[in-house]
Amino acid sequence: MPKRLARPTLRVKLQRNIGLQSYALLFCTTHRLDMLRINKEIQLNIIALTELTHLFLAPMLAKNAGVILNVASMTAFQPAPFMSVYGATKAYVLSFTEALAAEYNETKVQIITLCPGGTQSAFYQRSGADHLKGKLMEPIDVVHHAFKAIEEKRHFKVVGFSNALAAKLVPILPRNLVLNTVKRIMRPTK
């Protein structure tokens, strides 16, 4: 009878966070975003993420073990008209996490950027972008992709074939084409 291999114990701390997204024109008199909401979005997506990464990274490096997985978004790959602050904060998450992964790639601390597309949650309704829902991924599928990235020792994972294709195309397409296409998709319904 073959011996059963011992699987390493994986301790996971999960935080429920459906995010904060502002959807409107930044400086418009009718749908203007207030600075308090903008600041909360920046605080959550940039400052809190950076502080939490800093807090957990030092002990992981001391033990030379652990996983940091930061969630960016498909909006991280190009400017996001009508979600300008959200898209910019997710671009920060992508750049910050990829840079850390490179800095610490010679350690056994795995640092991963996960880039899902739209996912089933109250996210769109709360942000006022309910019309953008389209085909959404199930949260459990995104979680499976996160664990797969950990198992495969990846530092970067775009969730979904069409999202992966889009992420590869955006940098090689003309900037104006990308920007105008995203603007057309994101435009508020009347």
Active-site positions read 86
Q: Residue 44, Cβ neighbours under 10 Å: how many?
A: 15
Contact residues for 131 (Cβ-Cβ < 8 A; gap 6+) = 188, 189
Return d(Cα 120, Cα 142) in angstroms, integer: 10
**Nearest by Cα to 149 from 121, 92, 111, 180:** 111
Please say whether the beta carbons of 66 and 110 come within 8 A.
Answer: yes
